[in-house]
């Protein structure tokens, strides 16, 4: 499994927050913060847009670090990703991601 595949199957290598972080791009952080604020109906500030990747050591966005129920569950169960959990097909937590993103499901099945 690629190390940049998140617990939910999303590819952190293409995540705009991670790209802003590794490129130290404040303009990109501002853009991502504005978009995510609009999409989520909460205020997200550019200083919150710092992430190394879901399963990578290092900084995480506040949501990914402590609020994401998928990441918290996977850490608690000590699974590599949700793909190695026996409840993948019936899990409501990861269901929203894999139901809307066939690539995420494929990443978990690899």
- Crossing angle between the packed helical segments 92-100 and 102-109, to the nearest 10 degrees: 120
Question: What percentage of the chain reaches a pLDDT higher than 70?
Answer: 99
pLDDT at 1 over 80: no
Segment 75-83 shows an average pLDDT of 96
Q: Please give the model's pTM, rounded to 2 decimal places.
A: 0.89
Please give the Cα distance from 86 to 102 (Å, whole number).
Answer: 19
Please give the Cα distance from 108 to 10 (Å, whole number).
Answer: 9
The three-class DSSP label of residue 5 is strand
- Count CB-CB contacts under 10 A for residue 26: 12
Measured at the alpha carbon of residue 60, what is the angle toward residues 54 and 65, in degrees to the nearest 5? Answer: 80
């Amino acid at each position: 499994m690629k190390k940049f595949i998140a617990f939910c199957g999303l590819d952190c290598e293409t995540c705009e927050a991670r790209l802003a972080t590794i490129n130290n791009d404040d303009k990109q952080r501002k853009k991502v913060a504005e978009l995510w604020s609009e999409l989520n109906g909460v205020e997200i500030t550019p200083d919150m847009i710092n992430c190394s990747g879901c399963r990578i050591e290092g900084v995480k966005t506040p949501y990914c670090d402590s609020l994401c129920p998928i990441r918290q569950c996977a850490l608690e169960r000590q699974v590599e990703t949700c793909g190695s959990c026996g409840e993948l097909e019936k899990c409501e937590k990861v269901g929203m991601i894999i139901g809307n993103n066939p690539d995420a499901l494929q990443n978990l099945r690899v």
